[in-house]
Amino acid sequence: MSSIFREFVESDLPRLPEPPPPPMEIDFELYYTVDGIVNSRRTRKGVEYLIAWSAYDEMTWEPLTPDSLSCFGSRLHRQYPRKPRPVDLDSYFQTSA
């Protein structure tokens, strides 16, 4: 009589990556952790920033508000002053140096 069970054999296929941590929920809004802002570009809708997310391999282009730029955006624009930036943020970055 043969058994319905077979010996486990490890697969040669690559394993799926660990899922990233869930976002933080603060006041019913979801927040993700950012490693840094890598670049900026001007689009028809305004300026977008290339975001390096914590625990994620992929970076994404995101539109940001002056509040969400915080230290990462000001650091990017101080280090690379010719990178595209929103016009209304010029005075913000000049006074926060």
| Three state DSSP letters for 73-88 | HHHHHHHCCCCCCCHH
Beta-bridged to residue 46, according to DSSP, are 43
Tell me the CA distances in angstroms from 45 to 1, 8, 23, 65, one per residue in order: 70, 54, 26, 13
Under CATH, which architecture does the 24-92 domain have? Beta Barrel (2.40)
- Does pLDDT of 61 surpass 80? yes
**For the chain, which residues make up each domain, given as ranges?**
24-92
Residue whose C-alpha is closest to residue 53's, from 83, 32, 75, 77 = 32
- Does pLDDT of 93 surpass 60? no
Q: pLDDT, tens digit, for every residue of 74-91?
A: 777 777 777 777 766 555
Q: How far apart are CA 64 and CA 42, in angstroms?
A: 12
